[in-house]
Amino acid sequence: MPTLTSDADEDAAEAPDPGCLDSESDHGELVLDEREGVEVIPSVTRDVDLQELSDLVQIDDLKITMEFVRGLESATLDDKEMCLHSEALEHLRNPPEYQTEVPSPDLRLAVDLYLAVENASQDTYNAVRTAILRHYPESELLSYAQTKNKIAQMSGITPLVHNMCINSCLAYTGPFATLETCPTCGESRYDQITLTNSNGKVKKPQQEFHSMPIGPQLQALWRHSDSAASIRYCDTRTAEIIV
């Protein structure tokens, strides 16, 4: 049975989609909606000047958001705020292509112990280590900090550490990087106790936020045959189904 269509339906079908980002569409002027008698905001084009857009923002929260957007647009691995030390940066740009091997039984034991108590406190690791050394005094079982550093060296995975508000209001990054007081709750960024080293006084943050970058994690997974095969599971199964 033929489908009946009206002239209105045909006009609607030929009319351009108001949400379409077609480069040939005219998005430069405001359009007057005849039904409502109000101006309609034109569709956003692909070519957006973030600086110009930021200058138009009047709401403080949106201004901060735009500063973060501009920061992400120009971000590089070499940025000081990334907190990537030179060794981690080199490892990320030129990852090893060999499978990691634990060179000694003592280091293997330290790694196993570290992973076994990952959800416990550092004191738990130290207590177990003390008990092992009491029974096997000849063992060269590494300390918690030494084991942590060894794992970072072997895997290439190191955390990015940033100061944050003690009340978890924000992290001191982007437009907040230079602040010493939280703009939300007014708490000080640094502890009242100031540490001293050979270079002078060092400000101790009240709270720190640790994030694990995804790049080194993926690189570490690709270096082992089992985890690499797991990563390619979707591709492998899809190929088998298609064949």
Q: Where are the domains of the chain?
A: 98-155
Phi, psi at residue 20, to the nearest 5°? -75, 140
* C-alpha to C-alpha distance for 14 and 31, rounded to whole angstroms: 18
H helices of the chain, where?
Answer: 7-14, 50-56, 60-73, 86-93, 105-116, 122-135, 144-155, 214-222, 225-231, 233-242
pTM of the full predicted structure? 0.58
Q: What is the pLDDT of residues 59-107, one digit of tens each?
A: 778 888 888 888 888 888 888 777 777 888 888 888 888 887 788 899 9
The predicted structure's pLDDT at residue 24: 46
CB 16 within 8 Å of CB 24 = no
Q: What is the pLDDT of residues 116-134, one digit of tens each?
A: 998 888 999 999 999 999 9
Q: What is the pLDDT of residues 16-53, one digit of tens each?
A: 554 444 444 444 454 545 555 555 555 554 566 767 77
